[in-house]
Amino acid sequence: MNYAKFERVTLKGNSQFNEKWVQERISEDPSILGLGDVIVKDIERLQPSAGRLDLLLQDAEESRRFEVELQLGGTDESHIIRTIEYWDIERKRYPQYDHTAVIVAEDITSRFLNVIALFNGSIPLIAIQVRALKSGDQVGLVFTRVLDQVRLGFVDEDEEVHESTDRSYWEKRGSQKTVSMADELLELTKKLDSNLELKYNKFYIGLAKDGSPRNFVIFRPKKSFLRFEPRLKHSEKTQEQLEKAGLDVMDYDDRWGRYRIRLTSEDLKRHRDVLERVISDAYAESES
């Protein structure tokens, strides 16, 4: 492999490599944005009384859409407002999807990064900086995520002080069999920390250590299966590992940063090693 020196190409005002050219490159291969396995749903999507959305992308596997606005040069107030406006229009028109606003700009200044950060958390927003690099007669684009959508913290059990329940509550809501499956998974977590125990809350069964929540995995017993939810960053490697094992993987929960997996008692027997690895990875992320 040979070393190559790259020269930066300024896109704003460039007659050849303009915004339309960047839009076409993204349309050809939307994965270059680093948003996962996404497909192009629409280009220059007309917005009622509000212009056109540059790109509408949709996750190939999940009910999630990205409203993408391009800006060559530096970000400005109108770009931020337009991005949020288009995101708001789309989420109201299609509430069955999870929507995320995406700003792609050539230069995202610290000032406007701070402004954008004020919205993040209340508005799911991602900022991506694009750079064009040239080597000889070849030009490439590099996309760098400089502001990610804020992931919500662990479930705050201070809000559930009066909502705690007990084992019998979950055995009625789910079944004795599915609650026992949570016991089996607890034993896997105890290999990482022997002081962990189940904590029965109204909406889920979590983990606790010395009375304090440690919810790197949570459980939701149903009548015929247990929903197992490890908190892990979404990755192709983990997704492939789970699907290859034949596990019933639901849509990834972006809001809480959790995988959601339907488990049967047979799954616990057949895929114990995979589940143990997932629990170990979730524990490691919680400690980092």
List the domain boundaries for the chain. Answer: 7-147, 157-287
End-to-end CA distance of the chain: give it in Å, rounded. Answer: 34
At 162, the pLDDT band (50, 70, 90 cuts) reads: very low
Which pLDDT score, from 0 to 100, does residue 287 have?
A: 87
The whole-angstrom separation of Cα 60 and Cα 199 is: 36
Beta carbons of 209 and 197 less than 8 angstroms apart: yes
Does position 155 have pLDDT exceeding 60, yes or no? no
Among 86-90, 134-138, 170-174, 215-219, name the one with the lowest average pLDDT. 134-138
Q: How far apart are CA 141 and CA 225, in angstroms?
A: 46
Please name the residues in contact with 109: beta carbons below 8 A apart, sequence gap of 6 or more.
74, 75
Question: Is residue 78 over pLDDT 70?
Answer: yes
For 251-273, write each residue's pLDDT tens digit. 888 778 899 999 999 999 999 99
Mean pLDDT of 149-166: 54
Q: What pLDDT sits at residue 151?
A: 54
| Whether the model pTM is above 0.85 | no
Q: How far apart are CA 288 and CA 283, in angstroms?
A: 9
- State which fold the 157-287 domain adopts: Aspartate Aminotransferase, domain 1 (3.90.1150)
> Sorting pLDDT into bands at 50, 70 and 90, what band is 163?
low
Q: Is the pLDDT of residue 123 over 70?
A: yes
Q: State the number of CA atoms in the 13 A half-sphere of 122 facing the CB.
A: 6
pLDDT tier, 161 (very low <50, low <70, confident <90, very high otherwise): very low
Quick one: which H or E segment has residue 284?
Answer: helix 272-287
In angstroms, what CA-CA distances link 26 with 22, 104, 141, 248?
A: 6, 11, 10, 32
How far CA 33 is from CA of 68, 101, 103, 144, in Å, comes to 10, 13, 11, 8
Would you identify the CATH topology of the domain 7-147?
A: Trna Endonuclease; Chain: A, domain 1 (3.40.1350)
Least confident of 13-17, 84-88, 193-197: 13-17
Quick: pLDDT tens for 108-117.
877 777 777 7
Inter-residue contact 216 to 267 (CB < 8 Å):
no
